[in-house]
Structure 1
Amino acid sequence: MSRMLGSSAIAAIIGLLLLPAGAVFAGSQAAAITTAAQKNFTEYLDLLSLPNVAAEPSDIERNVAFLEKSFQKRSFKTHRLDNPAGRPMLLAELSSAKASVPTILFYAHFDGQPIVKEQWAQQDPFTPVVKQRNAQGAWQEVPRERLTAKPLDPELRVFARSASDDKAPIVMLLTAIDVLQAQRKTPVINVKVLLDSEEEMGSPSLGETVKANRELFNADALIVLDGPVHGSGKPTLVFGNRGITQATLTVFGPTAPLHSGHFGNYVPNPALRLATLLASMKDDDGRVLVEGYYDGINLTDADRRILKATGDDEAALLKRAGIARAERVGATYQEALQYPSLNVRGMASASVGAKAANIVPSEAIAEIDIRTTPETDGRRLFELLKRHIEKQGYHLVDAAPTTEERASYDKLAKFELGSVEAAARVPMDAPVGRWAMTALKSSTAQTPKTDPVRIRMMGGTVPTDVLVDALGLPFLLVPTVNADNNQHTFDENMRMGNFVTGTETVYSLLVTKYQR
C-alpha cells in the first residue's frame, strides 16, 4: 500500500468485518431489492405467458412445472399435491427450516379468471406487454427492455392475465428470497408456501388436499398474499375477508321463443319479469329489501373508529369508479364492506346487437353473487332470497317446468344455489397482526416511516375459511399489488413501483421474528 492506514480507518474496517452478514448491505437495501426485481422480470413475464384458466388442467400442469423449478432453484423442497380434477397444487418449504423457529405458511394462487380476448387492448392476454401513459394519459406499449433500464421507472406497468392476481406476489416472494440469499442470510422464520390452482373457481378441492397432506401444513400462522393495497399506496394489513355465495335465477316464459308482433301484449316477457323481480330486492339507495338480510350486523363506535382510521379518499373512489353517488348501505366505503352484498354479475335473455331477433324470449337468467360477512351465513341469505322470490308470486321449480306446471302457475322460476365460501376475520390486536405491523413499520417501502393501513375486512374473497377450518391457524392478508390493477376483468395490470414495494413488504416479514 502506498501509505499506512490511520487508526480510525483500521477501526472502521474491523467494525465492518464484525457486523452480521448483510448488515453492510442494509443502507442500500431498497436499491438491492429493485435490482433483484429487475433481474426477475424475465421470469415474471415467462410465468405470465403460461395460460392459467383453471378449467384447463393441462394449462395448470404447465404452471406447476414452471413454479416447481422456480422454487427448487431457491433451495425449496417442493411437494406436488394432486387432486381428482387434475389441477395439482404446490407446497414448497425452504430447506433452512429449524425446529425451534416458528413457521409461517404463505398462501397465493396461480390460476386466473377466464378471459374474453376481444375486450383486451392487446393481441393476447397471455402475451404480456409493457406500457406507460403518454402525454394524453392513454396507455402506450413500450419495449420490454424498459423494465431493466436504470433507474427503474415505477410507473411502467405489465398488462396480462394474472399480472397482479396473483402471479406477481409469487414472484415478489421469490425475489425477496433472492435478496436474502445474496446477503448470505436466511429468514428468521421457517417459510412454507402453498400455491393454489383453483382459487378463482372457489378452491373446491383445497380442503381435502390439506387434510390428505396434513403434516406438510404444520405452521404457526397463515399469511395470504392476495389483493390490492390501500388506495393511498401505503403498506396494508387486512384482518378479514368477505365470503361469497353464488346462485342462478331463471325466470321462465313461453315454451319456445315467440314472434313479438303476434304475441306481444299477450305472452308475458320473462326478461321484463326478471328485471322487475331483481328490482324488488334493492331500493334506490342500494340497500337490500329482503327481510332479515342484514340481521347480525351491529357495528360499535369502536368498529366505526377503526373503519374511519383507514383514511379512504371517498371523492377519489367515486372518480375512479366513474359514478356520481355511492350506494347508502354504509356511511363510507369501509363501512359498506361490513354488510353482505347482493350483486347481479351477469344477465342473459335471447341475443343482442346484430343477432337480436323480434321475439318474446322463452327464459331469462341472472347470475347472482352474495358477498357475506362472518355474521351472515351465505346459505341463510340464499334461503331469505328464495322466500322473497316466492312472496313476489313465483312458484319455484327444480328443473325445466313441466306442461302441468306451466298450466297451473302464472309465474315460474328456478333458483339454484352454487358454490359457498364463508367469510373470516381475526381481531385487530391478534399476535399475527402485531408481528406484521412491526415488520411493515421497518419496511424500506415507507419513506417517511408511517404505520401501515389496517383494514378490518376487505371486500374480496379468498379461501381463508377452508384453510382456517382445516389448519386452525391465525391468519392475515398482506396485499401487495396496486389498487387500480383491473383484476378479474380485461386489461389487468401490475405497476412496477408496487412490484418493488411489495417485494420489500415480503422481505420485511421474512426478517422479523414471530413470537409463538
Structure 2
Amino acid sequence: MAMAGLFAVVASTPTAARQAMLDPAVLEEYIAFLSLPNDAANPADALANARFVQAMMQRRGIASELLYDPDRKAPPAVFGEIKTPGATRTIVFYAHYDGQPVVPERWAPGLSPFRPTAISRPIEQGGAVLGPWSPGANFPTGWRLAARSAADDKAGVMVALNAFRDATGTAARLGVNVKFFFEGEEEKGSPNLRAILHAHSEKLESDLWVMVDGPRHTAGYRAMVLGVRGVVDVGITVYGANRPLHAGNYGNWAPNPALRLSALLGSLKDADGRILIPGFYDDAVPATAAERAEIAKAPSMDATRQSLGIARTQGGGKLHGELVLLPGIEITGLRAGATDARAANVIPTEAEARLDMRLVKGDRIDRQLARLVRFVEAQGYLVLDRTPTAEERLAHPLIAKITSGFGYEAQRTSLDEPMVTRVKQLLERASPDRLVVVPSTGGSLPLSLFAHELGAPMVTIPVVNADNNQHGENENVDPAFLAEGILNIRAIMEDDFSGR
C-alpha cells in the first residue's frame, strides 16, 4: 500500500508498538468538521453536519445521498456507496456525526467545544493548552485535539472516509464493495433509526457492518469489539409535602423525600455492587468458553484503577470483561434542594434520580423495567408513571413516579462468525500492536436495531484513546490513534474476504 502521502512514523509509546501522525491536509479537514456544532436536538446544526459529510464524500468521488425516516422526524443518515468490479462481498462502515450537548463554561480556560484546540495531554492529567493547530505547529509527541465529538464520533466518520481515500489522494485498493452509513441522532438514543433502516433496507444490504466508534482498550491497545450492552434511561421521583417546609419547624415530623429516595437507591445494590432486584440477572446469556478465554487474555485494569484514584473496585473479584456481560444499573443524577449558595433550610417537596440501566444479551427492556417497578412496590411504594394527584398524595404515604426514555437492547456477535474471524486476522496482520478481542463493551450502540432489521453480522473497531472525556467537558483525541485507525480500517477495505 502506498502510504507515504499520509503517514510518518513517530516514537513508540508504552501502549503501542508504532504510532503515526496525520498529514496536515487530513487534520485541516477534520478541524473544519469539528468546528460545526452538532447537537442532534438542533435540526439546522444536524443538517449542516450532514452536508459537510456529503462534501467530504464528494471530494473523494463517493456518490452520496441523505436517508430519512418516512416521517422525517430525525436528522438524516448520510449514505455512500462504491461498487468494486469483481467483488463478491459488501461491507458497510458505520459512524455517527452527532454529539452530546455541551456546557461551554465547564470546559477548561482556553478551550471551547467548537473551537478545536491543541492540548499537551488531557487537562485532567495536568495538560496545558497549546493553542490552535496550524500546519507549521510543532507540538510535543502525544498531543491531543480538544473539541466536542473529537473522539465520539466524528472520529469514526473521519477515519472511515480517510481509509477509503485521504485528503492527499492516497486511496485504498478495494477488495469489497463499500458502503458508508453515518447516523445523525445516536447520542439521543437513535429513536428513529429503526424506521430509517426499515425504509432503506434494500440499499443497506451487506455481508458485514463495521462500526467505527468507541475507545480503544484502557491500556492503549487496539481492540475488536463483538458486542455492546443495551441501554434505557430511567427516572425515579419520590414525593414529600406539597410545598417546601422549614427544616427546623417541620423536621422529625414531615417526611423527607431526599432521605426516602436515598434509602431506596441504597437498596438497589449490596456493598460489593451486586444488584438486589429479584430476577435482574436471570435472562442474561452466559459467556461462551471462547468468550471467557478472550476475557482472561485481556490486559489488567489495575493501572486504570490507580489512575482513577479508586482504592478497591466492585464485582466480587470478577474481571472487568466478565462484569460487562452482566446487566447493570447506575445512578447518574440526583436532585433534591440545593447544596451551593442557593441552599436553604427547607425540606424539599420531591427528590429525583436518573438511572442508567444497561442490558446484556438475553435481556428485554420491558422485563427489566417491570422488575424494577416490582422491587420498588415491594418496599411499600405506590408506583405511577405520572405526577400523583392531591388525592393520591393523601391516600398513600409512599409514592414513586418511574418513567423511562427510549432505549434499545444488547447485541453480541459470535466469535465463530466467518466474516468476523477474517476481520480479526486482517487486524492482526495490519499492525504489530496488540489486538484485544472484547466479547462486549460496557457502553451501548443501537446494534440490536441493525440486527433486527438487516440481519448482517457486526463488529466494532474502536479507534480513539480511552481517556478522551467523551460526553464530557474537554473531550479530546490523540491524532496518532486516528492515523493507526485509518490503517486498520483500510486493511479491511482492501481484502476480498475470500479467505486466502
Q: 1:136 to 1:191 in 2, by over 3 A?
A: closer
Q: CA deviation at 1:68?
A: 0.8
Q: CA deviation at 1:211?
A: 1.4
Equivalent position to 1:503, from 477, 482, 486: 486
Whether contact under 8 Å (1:235, 1:505) holds in the other structure is: no
Cα shift readout 1:86-121 (whole Å, capped 9, x = no counterpart): 522211113x43364311001100111111112111
Q: CA deviation at 1:255?
A: 1.0
Q: CA deviation at 1:221?
A: 0.7
Cα shift readout 1:5-26 (whole Å, capped 9, x = no counterpart): xxxxxxxxxxxxxxxxx5xx36
Aligned CA RMSD, in angstroms, stands at 2.5
Cα shift readout 1:386-438 (whole Å, capped 9, x = no counterpart): 11101111111232222221221111111112222110001112112212112
1:106 matched residue in structure 2? 93
Q: 1:181 to 1:429 in 2, by over 3 A?
A: farther
Equivalent position to 2:73, from 81, 85, 109: 85
Whether contact under 8 Å (1:57, 1:85) holds in the other structure is: no
Equivalent position to 1:223, from 210, 214, 239: 210
Whether contact under 8 Å (2:74, 2:185) holds in the other structure is: no
2:416 equivalent to 1:429 = yes
Structure that is richer in helix per residue: 1
1:433-512 superposed matches below 5 A:
433-443=420-430, 446=431, 449=432, 452-512=435-495
Whether contact under 8 Å (2:99, 2:153) holds in the other structure is: yes
Q: CA deviation at 1:482?
A: 0.6
Cα shift readout 1:244-288 (whole Å, capped 9, x = no counterpart): 022111101111211212211111110110000000111111111
Deviating more after overlay: 117-126 vs 162-171? 117-126
Structure 1: 5+ residue runs without aligned partners?
Answer: 1-21
Whether contact under 8 Å (1:133, 1:139) holds in the other structure is: yes
2:389 equivalent to 1:389 = no
Cα shift readout 1:365-394 (whole Å, capped 9, x = no counterpart): 111111110122222111111111011111
CA distance in 1: counterparts of 2:122 and 2:475, whole angstroms = 18
CA distance in 1: counterparts of 2:123 and 2:248, whole angstroms = 53
Q: Secondary structure at the match of 1:488?
A: coil
1:7 matched residue in structure 2? none
Whether contact under 8 Å (2:5, 2:23) holds in the other structure is: no
CA distance in 2: counterparts of 1:427 and 1:107, whole angstroms = 19
Equivalent position to 2:308, from 321, 326, 338: 321
Equivalent position to 1:127, from 111, 115, 120: 115
Cα shift readout 1:57-108 (whole Å, capped 9, x = no counterpart): 11101101111111111011111123422522211113x4336431100110
1:57 matched residue in structure 2? 43
Whether contact under 8 Å (2:117, 2:147) holds in the other structure is: yes
Q: Secondary structure at the match of 2:388?
A: coil
Equivalent position to 2:24, from 29, 35, 38: 38
CA distance in 1: counterparts of 2:216 and 2:123, whole angstroms = 27
Whether contact under 8 Å (2:6, 2:23) holds in the other structure is: no
2:191 equivalent to 1:240 = no
Q: 1:275 to 1:34 in 2, by over 3 A?
A: same
Whether contact under 8 Å (2:291, 2:415) holds in the other structure is: no
TM-score (structure 2 length as normaliser) = 0.91
TM-score (structure 1 length as normaliser) = 0.89
Q: CA deviation at 1:166?
A: 0.3
2:237 matched residue in structure 1? 250
CA distance in 1: counterparts of 2:367 and 2:104, whole angstroms = 37
2:325 equivalent to 1:341 = no
Cα shift readout 1:291-315 (whole Å, capped 9, x = no counterpart): 111114444655432211122x222
CA distance in 2: counterparts of 1:133 and 1:42, whole angstroms = 20
1:141 matched residue in structure 2? 129
Task: Name the amino acid aligned to 1:79.
Answer: E
Whether contact under 8 Å (1:129, 1:141) holds in the other structure is: yes
CA distance in 1: counterparts of 2:40 and 2:245, whole angstroms = 38
Whether contact under 8 Å (2:257, 2:349) holds in the other structure is: yes
**Which has the higher Rg, Structure 1 or Structure 2?**
1
2:259 matched residue in structure 1? 272
Q: CA deviation at 1:513?
A: 2.0
CA distance in 2: counterparts of 1:105 and 1:181, whole angstroms = 23
Q: 1:378 to 1:410 in 2, by over 3 A?
A: same
1:11 matched residue in structure 2? none
1:12 matched residue in structure 2? none
Q: 1:278 to 1:36 in 2, by over 3 A?
A: closer
CA distance in 1: counterparts of 2:297 and 2:231, whole angstroms = 26
Cα shift readout 1:322-372 (whole Å, capped 9, x = no counterpart): 211111256111111110011111111122301111111111111111111
Q: Secondary structure at the match of 2:307?
A: helix
Task: Name the amino acid aligned to 1:31.
Answer: A
CA distance in 2: counterparts of 1:63 and 1:335, whole angstroms = 38
CA distance in 2: counterparts of 1:486 and 1:136, whole angstroms = 9
